[in-house]
Amino acid sequence: MIKLWKAPFQSMVFSSIVFGILSALSLEPFNFPLTAYLAVWILLYQAQLNSNSPGRLLWFGFMAAFWLCVFGFYWTIHLFTVYGGLPLYLAVFTFIPYTFLLNLKIPFLVLALGYVNEKRFRQLRLPSLILVPTIAVSLDLLFPQVFNWYWGNLLAGNPYLAQLAEYVGVHGLSFLLFFLSYGSFKVLKGVPWKAIYWKRFRSIRLWKAVSPVVAVAVAGLIFGYARKASIEEIQRSLPHVTALTIQPNAPLEKAGGPQEVTWPVLRKLITGTIPDLAKEARDEAYSRDLTVDLVVLPESAVPYFTTQDNILTRKLMYGYRPEFEELILRLALEFNAEVFFNQNAFGVSLDPSTGQPRKDVYNSSALFSRNGKRADYYHKQILIAFGEQIPYAEFLEETGLINLVPESVRYSRFRQGKRFALQPYESSAMDPLPEVSLKYDALSDPQAIKEDSIRKLLDELNKRDFQPTGQFMPLICYEVLSPDYIRDFFHKNEANPDFMVNITQDKWYGKTIETFQHFELGRIRSIETRRALLRSTNSGSSGMIDLAGNYAEPEVGKRLTGQETEEFQIFRVPVYRSEDTFYVTFGDNWFFFPFLAMLGFWVKRRFAGGTTNSSRRKIGAGPSPAGQPSMSTPPSRIQMPEGSGGAKKKSTPRRPTRRRSGK
C-alpha cells in the first residue's frame, strides 16, 4: 500500500479516487463532514509530492475533479439523457469534459499548492497557514459553476461550525476547512500514521505548530454550540406560518416537446392527484386543529400551463387552461389560504435582430390570495445554461449571431426575470402589514371571459378579505444555491423577507443523490440569513430548514419526502423579523483581512530578518585572542593545542545509552 501511495502515476490515480469518495461522503445523504479534512489532506499530499512538476499537478487535479463527479455528481449523466435527449454513450462522452471544465478550481488549486511548496516561493516568507486557505477561497470565487458547490459545503454538515456562516458565509467555512486541514497536515507531515508515536507528541515545536489549529477548532465549536442553542431558544417563542407543501410527482417534460405529456395525463393530475392530496391534507389539518395559511405547489406541478388569461395565451396550445386556474382557486377557497405555484408566464417584446414582435416565456411563480386575486408574481432570474437559456443570449441577439443557433434551441429558452419581488401572505398569528398593493401579470386581462365554474369560484372568493401580515422570498430551483443572489433579495427590497420558499423540479435527475445534495447545499442559506427555508419539490425531497440550520420535523408528514412519491407535509414555519445578519450586510468583505494579514507578516518578517542577519554578522566578527576560538568558528573546526592531550586517539562512535526511569 505504501509503495502504491508513493509511486507517481499509481499514487495520483489511487489518491484521486479516494478524494472523490471522501468528498461525496461529506455531503448528504451520507453527511460525514470529517471526511472533508481527509479529502483536503490528499490534495495537499499530492501537491507536496509533485511540487516540481506542474504537469503532474494539473493531471492529478483533473483526475480528482473527474472522480469527484463520478461519485458525487454522477447524476449529470441522467440529466444529459433525459433533459438533453442525448443517447447514453454520448451522455457519458459529454460527462468527461463536463467534469473538467466545471471544476477547474480543483486542478488550479493543486497547481497553486505545488508552487507554494517550492523553495523560491517559501523565500517570500508568507504565513502558509493563511496563504493556503486564501488561495482555495479565491479560486472558489473565481471559477464559475453550473451546480454551485463550494468547499465550505463539505464542512457545513458539522452543525456547530456551520453556525459561523451567519458571519462569514459559506466561503468563510471554506477558509476554515483549509485552515484546519492544512494546519493538521503540516503537523503530521503528510503521513498521518506517524502521529501514533509518543515521541512526536513530546516535541515543544510540534505543540507550537498545532496550537493555532486546536485553538481555532475549539473556539469555533464552542461558539457554534452556544449560538445554535441561542437561536433554537429564540425560535421556540417566534410566531409562525402554517404551510402545506404538496408533492404530486407530476410527469416529466422530456426532451422532444410537450406532446410527450398528453392532456389526459395532465387532466388526471389537475382533477385527481393534486385535489386528492389536498383533501387528505385538509382532513389531517382539521384533526390536529391546524389552520393552513399558505399552500405551496412545486416547480412543474402542472407542466406547461398558465393562469394568464388573454388573447395570446388562449391561442397557444400549451398556454391558458381554465382547469388549471380552477384548481388554484379551489385550493384558495378550501383552505382559506394563499396559493403559491409555478407556471409558464408569457410576454411580448421586439426582437433586436429582426425588429419583429416575439413571444417571451418565463419560468415563473405566482401567488393567488385567499380572495381569488393574483397578489404578485416572480420570474426566475438564474437560468440553467443550455437547459433554460443560451449563454450570452443578449449579446448574440444584438449582433444577430442568434440566427446561427438552431431554431429548436433558439425558441425553447426562457427569458430572464428582473424583479426581486417578495410575495405577501396572511397569517392569523400576526397583525396585518400597514399596506401591501396587489399586482397583476402584465398580460393578464381582468375582463377576460371566464367559464361558469371559475366565475362562481371568484364570486365566492371575492367575499373574503386579504390582509397581508408578512412577505416571503420566492426561489426557483438552483437560485437557492447562490449566496450573493439571496443577499440581493434582502438589499433590493424595503422590507426583509420573513422566510424563504424554494420550489424545484428534481425529477430530471432520477432517483439519485442529487435531490439530497440540492437541499443540503441550499441549507446553509438559512444560517447565513437566519431565515427558515421551506422546500417544495415535485418528486422529492421536500422539507424545511429552521433558523439554526436543522432539518425540521413537520406537524404532518415525513421529515423528508420520498423520491417519486405522492405526499404532502404541513410545517409550522417560524417568522424571524430580525435585522440583517452580519453576512447579509457585509457579504464576503471579511476576505480582505487574510490579504492584510499576509502583507503585515511579510513586512514584519522582512525587516525583522534583515536586522537579525546584520546582528549575527557583528557577533564574533573581530579578531579573537591567540589560542582561543572565535565565536563564529564552528565547534567541529576547533583544534586542541599540541601536547595538551597526548597522542591523538582514534574516536569510535558510542552507542547511545537508554536512560532509566527515576535516574
Residue 258 has pLDDT above 60, yes or no: no
Cell of 101: 471544465
* Across 631-658, average pLDDT: 48
- Listed in order, the ranges of the chain carrying CATH 3.60.110 are 239-342+369-378+421-575
Q: State the Cα–Cα distance between residues 629 and 137, nearest whole angstrom.
A: 54
* Across 261-286, average pLDDT: 92
CB 218 within 8 A of CB 226: no
Phi, psi of 389 (to 5 degrees): -155, 160
Beta strands in 455-526 (DSSP E): 470-476, 500-504
Burial readout 112-131 (b: 16 or more C-beta within 10 A, e: otherwise): bbbebbeeebeeeebebbbb
CB 354 within 8 A of CB 488: no
Give the pLDDT confidence of 194-206 residue by residue, as tens digits: 444 445 555 556 6
The whole-model pTM stands at 0.84
pLDDT of 395: 60
Mean pLDDT check: name the lowest of 72-81, 288-297, 488-497, 608-617.
608-617
Strand, helix or coil for residue 350: strand
Give the pLDDT confidence of 548-571 residue by residue, as tens digits: 999 999 999 999 999 999 999 999
Residue 402 has pLDDT above 90, yes or no: no
Give the pLDDT confidence of 202-236 residue by residue, as tens digits: 555 666 667 888 899 999 999 999 999 999 999 99
pLDDT of 451: 81
At position 159, the amino acid (one-letter code) is: P
* Across 373-387, average pLDDT: 84
- What count of other Cβ atoms lies within 10 Å of the Cβ of residue 373? 17
Give the pLDDT confidence of 136-146 residue by residue, as tens digits: 999 999 987 77
Closest by CA to 324, choosing from 347, 338, 344, is 344
Q: State the Cα–Cα distance between residues 477 and 537, nearest whole angstrom.
A: 9
Share of the chain above pLDDT 90, in %: 49
CATH topology for 239-342+369-378+421-575?
Nitrilase/N-carbamoyl-D-aminoacid amidohydrolase (3.60.110)
Give the pLDDT confidence of 442-500 residue by residue, as tens digits: 666 656 667 888 888 988 998 898 999 999 999 999 999 999 999 999 999 878 899 99
Q: State the Cα–Cα distance between residues 386 and 445, nearest whole angstrom.
A: 32
Question: Residue 376 pairs with which residues in a beta bridge?
Answer: 367
Helix (H) or strand (E) holding 366: strand 357-368
Give the pLDDT confidence of 328-365 residue by residue, as tens digits: 999 999 999 999 999 999 888 777 666 777 788 899 99
pLDDT of 391: 59
Q: State the Cα–Cα distance between residues 72 and 27, nearest whole angstrom.
A: 8
* Across 17-28, average pLDDT: 92
* DSSP tag of 291: -
CB 484 within 8 A of CB 587: yes
- Residue with grid cell 399552500, as numbered in its chain: 295
Q: Return mean pLDDT, the chain.
A: 83
